[in-house]
């Protein structure tokens, strides 16, 4: 389950920020997650609760913000939202799409007490 290692990375970022800003408690973590990031949300939430035990983020709420998949259509020259990597262009039906986004995963912000 790679969600566990993702959460370990999140914990590392949290610990760095806690030291840098003299924070004693993190109550919420908002994570932007692209449609194509390859993360199972239920597994991510489970792993988050496990990995945060014993840290300043123990008991913190993990909020995931869904980001759409995006691609540039070579046929019509428009950047479009797509649900699946192999979808045709929703505007012109063209099949020559270059992914432009949707694989992002980043901490948007931390709520602290």
pLDDT, one tens digit per residue, over 2-58 is 999 999 999 999 999 999 998 999 999 999 999 999 999 999 999 999 999 999 999
- Which whole number is the average pLDDT over 109-113? 94
Write the DSSP assignment of the chain as a string of letters: -HHHHHHHHHHHHHHHHHHHHT---EEEEEEEEETTS---HHHHHHHHHHHTTTSTTTTPEEEEEEE-EEEEETTT--EEEESSTTPPPTTT----EEEEES--EEEEEEEE-
The yes-or-no verdict on residue 92 having pLDDT over 90 is yes
CATH architecture classification, 2-112: 2-Layer Sandwich (3.30)
Q: What is the pLDDT of residue 1?
A: 61
pLDDT of residue 113: 86
Q: Is the pLDDT of residue 65 over 90?
A: yes
* Averaged pLDDT for residues 71-91: 95
Q: Give CA separation, 109 vs 10, 27, 39, 44, 99, in Å.
A: 11, 11, 19, 17, 26
The domain limits of the chain are 2-112
The pLDDT, as a whole number, for residue 111 is 96
Give the global pTM.
0.86
Answer yes or no: are the C-beta atoms of 108 and 31 closer than 8 Å: yes
């Amino acid at each position: 389950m790679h969600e566990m290692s993702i959460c370990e990375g999140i914990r590392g970022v949290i610990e760095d920020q806690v030291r840098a800003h003299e924070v004693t408690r993190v109550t919420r973590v908002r994570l932007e997650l692209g449609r194509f990031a390859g993360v199972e949300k239920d597994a991510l939430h489970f792993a988050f609760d496990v990995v945060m035990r014993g840290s300043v983020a123990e008991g913190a709420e993990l909020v995931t913000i869904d980001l759409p998949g995006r691609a540039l259509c070579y046929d019509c020259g428009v950047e479009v939202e797509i649900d699946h990597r192999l979808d045709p262009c929703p505007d012109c039906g063209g099949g020559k799409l270059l992914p432009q986004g949707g694989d992002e995963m980043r901490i948007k912000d931390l709520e602290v007490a």
